[in-house]
Amino acid sequence: GQQLNQSPQSMFIQEGEDVSMNCTSSSIFNTWLWYKQDPGEGPVLLIALYKAGELTSNGRLTAQFGITRKDSFLNISASIPSDVGIYFCAGQKSNGNKLVFGAGTILRVKS
Amino acid sequence: ETGVTQSPTHLIKTRGQQVTLRCSSQSGHNTVSWYQQALGQGPQFIFQYYREEENGRGNFPPRFSGLQFPNYSSELNVNALELDDSALYLCASSLGQGAGELFFGEGSRLTVL
């Protein structure tokens, strides 16, 4: 089963609003990644984080690697209709060869 | 576009049958991982192949098996299909043994009736 708790489960926001979502775990991860999945497609990598405390941006997206290594946050500023989709966090352990995914946050944007 | 291609995109099988799914990795990537994504859930790790050998396996029974070829393309085989095998099967390629940054294909949607 899933080891990552992702919240909120879904969001319905107004275009132009900022969005925040997070991912927590009971265990430590050495790498955190955020993916977006559109209907009928595979997940697309948005941001990768490799160091505790790291804050990384990709356009309107900003993600942080929690200092405890047990959580990560993704913020989207000034949302637009094409931000609609499912956002997944994923973690990798230090000696791991797999990603563990959260259950996803469904984002809907009202224009 | 990630450069990872999967086939077929959709298929329907009946319980007890066998299925083979195929994946071509992104150019230059030598590692292929397979994930199963059930409806409404995140992807679950099945296994990874590196240099034609299995390099780690998730909590899936032996009837899930795979291959990697010298050109780094890969196959996922599932025998004795069960209804719960209905899912989106995702292939991801990467460089090196660690999961690192995975680049996913669009997936193969399997329906088992």
d(CA B87, CA B46): 13
Beta bridge partners of B12: B111
Degrees, nearest 5: CA angle A96-B44-B104:
85
Residue B83 φ then ψ, to 5°: -55, -40
Q: B21 burial class (0-12, 13-18, 19+ CB within 10 angstroms)?
A: buried
Helix (H, G, I), strand (E, B) or coil at A61: strand
d(CA B62, CA B21): 16
Helices (H) and strands (E) in chain B, counts: 0, 11
pLDDT in tens, B15-31: 999 999 999 998 888 99
Averaged pLDDT score across all residues of chain A: 94
In chain B (113 residues long), the average pLDDT of successive 10-residue segments reads: 91 98 92 96 95 93 96 96 98 82 95 98
pLDDT at A96 (0 to 100): 74
Residue B103 is nearest to which of A45, A96, A102, comparing CB atoms?
Answer: A45
pLDDT in tens, A28-58: 999 999 999 998 899 999 999 999 999 999 9
Tell whether A19 is within 8 A of chain B (Cβ).
no
Residue A98 is nearest to which of B4, B40, B58, comparing CB atoms?
Answer: B58
pLDDT by position in tens, chain A (length 111): 557 999 999 999 999 999 999 999 999 999 999 999 998 899 999 999 999 999 999 999 999 999 999 999 999 999 999 999 999 999 998 777 899 999 999 999 998
Asked if A97's CB is within 8 angstroms of B105's CB, the reply is: no
Tell whether B28 is within 8 A of chain A (Cβ).
no
Smallest CA–CA separation between A68 and chain B, in Å?
20
pLDDT at B27 (0 to 100): 86
The count of C-alpha atoms lying within 13 angstroms of the C-alpha of A19, restricted to the half-sphere facing its C-beta, is 30
Beta bridge partners of A5: A24
